[in-house]
Amino acid sequence: MMNSIDKNNLLAILPNDDVLSQCMHCGMCLATCPTYELTMQEKSSPRGRIRLIKSVARGELEITPAFVKEMSYCLDCQACETACPASVKYGSMVEAARVMISNGKSGRTVGNYVKKFGMNFIIAEKIFLKITANILKFYQRSGMQKLIHKSKVMNLFSKNLSEIDKLSPRISDVFSDKIIKEINMPYGEVKHNVLFLSGCIMNVAFSEINQDTLEILLQNNCKVICPKAQGCCGSLHAHYGELPKAVELAKHNLEIFSKYDFDFLVSNSAGCGAFMKEYVHLFENDPKLAEKAKIFSSKILDITQFITSIELNKNIGTIDVPVTYHDACHLCHTQKITKAPRDFLKLIPGLSIIPLEESMWCCGSAGIYNVVEYEDSMKILERKMKNISSTKAKIVVTGNPGCIGQIKYGAEKFNVDIEVIHPATLMNRAYKNYKSS
């Protein structure tokens, strides 16, 4: 990866021919690819997309609208990487193609400018994100949202606009950085020093999950450092072609977090954890940051990994409920974390854990995929909801904010009676049950 983009040679961003030729076209990935499964077209498969990228890299194919469409139509779920016997790093290929598209002539579209504005000036800038979140909160709480939906005025602009509006996360009453202090001391003795990423969207729309995560860390002898100066990790930017901004954000966080002495950095968002592990590759050619990034990335743990690796505070109550678990793509495919979340659930007394059919199949959220490819995202979600429904569980647990929002929306849309929660929320509920018993 690179810090600046040479706009005269965007092709240089693509992986070299040796890397692209690692794909031996065996087709083992096809059955795991949601977009291939929907279309049954080779061009919408991992193998087909790698061929397209290779042709562009070799100068045999122009960047056509069809190429742009295929790169955008991919969920970047990385299920194909899990299936691939040749360990092809497909995710980095499609992300490189997106960087090239976004920064080249084909990126000069209204949609791309809107995406760039949203990513670079709202999500990346804490102050503007908070202003936007407050406006959205007013819209959601004042009755305006209900009124607009009732009036059906959105249908005049697009038939899906009101559904997309319902997909936007409900803004939290209080943002987590208002409540979580920079230094938080545990209830017992200090056994672990952990840094905590409170995130960007997590901070404003999933503040309760951040508080639950903090609470279970405090219950388990952790001194939790949550630096006020931290910012967005850059994950969404890297996945959607905004690499220079992703690098800028990563650099900022690396500098902030490296000021502290810590054992681990705990993340409660699959996408953020996955991308922070990439900082090591992002800065491998930067003499000033390479070593810092290497140490930093090696200390990233998902909350379920961290809690299952320490001695648990056993003053935990019972939750007598059938639950099931959905694997977020950036946990199971990108970070290969599948055991820790299940072991984490086993630590909560009373739960009966029901296996979910196709638990590693994407839910269709995939960053902003459910907005830009609403209809196909809903087909993917419908499949997920059918599987969830057939477990007869009362709660579905998943470790990524995007999946939580998408499955909550799916529960309403497809009439599935299920609560959707984060593992940290469930464990904190068990600790609260102990206190009140």
| Shortest reach from residue 43's CB to ligand SF4, in Å | 11
Residues that bind ligand SF4 (CB under 6 A): 23-29, 32-35, 46-47, 49, 74-80, 83-84, 86, 88, 90
User: Among the residues of 24-181, which ranges form H helices?
Assistant: 34-39, 46-57, 65-73, 79-83, 90-103, 110-117, 126-141, 144-151, 161-167, 176-179
Neighbours of 39 (CB within 10 A): 15
| Shortest reach from residue 202's CB to ligand SF4, in Å | 23
Q: Which is nearer to ligand SF4, 32 or 305 (CB)?
A: 32
Q: Which is nearer to ligand SF4, 280 or 362 (CB)?
A: 362
| Shortest reach from residue 105's CB to ligand SF4, in Å | 24
| Shortest reach from residue 353's CB to ligand SF4, in Å | 26
DSSP 8-state code for residue 225:
E
Q: Which is nearer to ligand SF4, 68 or 84 (CB)?
A: 84
d(CA 271, CA 236): 8
Q: Which is nearer to ligand SF4, 210 or 334 (CB)?
A: 334
Q: Which is nearer to ligand SF4, 37 or 165 (CB)?
A: 37
Scan for tokens 């080249």, then name that residue.
104
d(CA 403, CA 409): 10
| Shortest reach from residue 77's CB to ligand SF4, in Å | 4
| Shortest reach from residue 32's CB to ligand SF4, in Å | 6
d(CA 217, CA 306): 9
Q: Which is nearer to ligand SF4, 57 or 307 (CB)?
A: 57
Cα–Cα separations (whole angstroms), residue 116 to 99, 119, 238, 244: 12, 5, 12, 11
Cβ atoms 424, 387 nearer than 8 A: no
Pairing mode of beta strands 222-225, 183-184: antiparallel
Cα–Cα separations (whole angstroms), residue 365 to 137, 276, 361, 371, 408: 22, 20, 11, 8, 11
| Shortest reach from residue 428's CB to ligand SF4, in Å | 32
Q: Which is nearer to ligand SF4, 29 or 426 (CB)?
A: 29
